[in-house]
Amino acid sequence: MADPKYPVRTVGRTFEILEIIQELDGAGVSEIAARVDIGKSAVHNHLTTLENYEYVDKDGDEYHIGLSFLGLGAYARNRTPIYDTAQSQVDELADETGELVNLLVEKNGKGIYLYQSKGENAVELDTHEGKRVRLHCTGLGKAILAFRPDETVDEIIADQGLPELTPQTITDRDAFDAELEEIRDQRYAVDREERLNGLRCIAAPITDDSDRSIAAISVACPVHRVDDDRFYEALPEAVLGAANVIELEYNYS
């Protein structure tokens, strides 16, 4: 993402404060001021303005993200064409597998969870709709990158790197390129505890009529509960089937 030619510092500072509040799940003036290079009074001015417009709520001495953002987020999601097409298939896959099913899109080199659906046995994770994640350490992200041009992958890795999140994260570029090649051959990706210890996922790309990924869909499950037979045989078939239906409806309806 290119930096703006004439950035408005006040706007940038406001969003920095909001991201701190979200990261900390609520924060006070002193806590925020300690993490930005402006004083407490300036932080307080930002917060009271946001509170006035109901973009933050105050609870005692802490500020939290307000519900006004919910309307903006829902509007942005509804404007993403793949959401309407994929939502019902995500729900059906969650019902079929009983697990957590995610829909992810790429924006500016990171993944954004667009939609989630929970089956009866779904694991509770740190993910939520709107959360941003690195692409290289998730099955969803790898599925998306495998069906993008090499130069796009190069740009994203040059910008984001391949940092280690768990001992299983692929951090070597040659090994990562080999992984993408395997994903292209089998048309699904595997996350082997690469973002979170104890969690693995099967993900498939959702591609346009030029075979370029526009999103990815996954089933996530805990290692201890899902055996290898089901994980490597039944789940890929289910995820590929859902991705195929979404692609057909998206590209040809």
Q: What is the CATH number of domain 9-66?
A: 1.10.10.10
What does the domain layout of the chain look like in residue ranges? 9-66, 76-252
Distances (CA, A) of 218 to 14, 97, 139, 151, 156: 34, 11, 7, 25, 21
> Per the confidence metrics, is the pTM higher than 0.75?
yes
Q: Are 104 and 111 in contact (CB under 8 A)?
A: yes
Token pair recorded at residue 194: 């690469």
Please name the fold of domain 76-252.
Answer: Beta-Lactamase (3.30.450)
d(CA 122, CA 243): 20
Note the pLDDT tens digit of each residue in 5-46: 556 678 889 989 988 998 888 999 999 999 988 899 999 999
Average of per-residue pLDDT across 212-237: 95
Alpha helix locations (H) across 161-221?
Answer: 173-186
d(CA 114, CA 132): 10
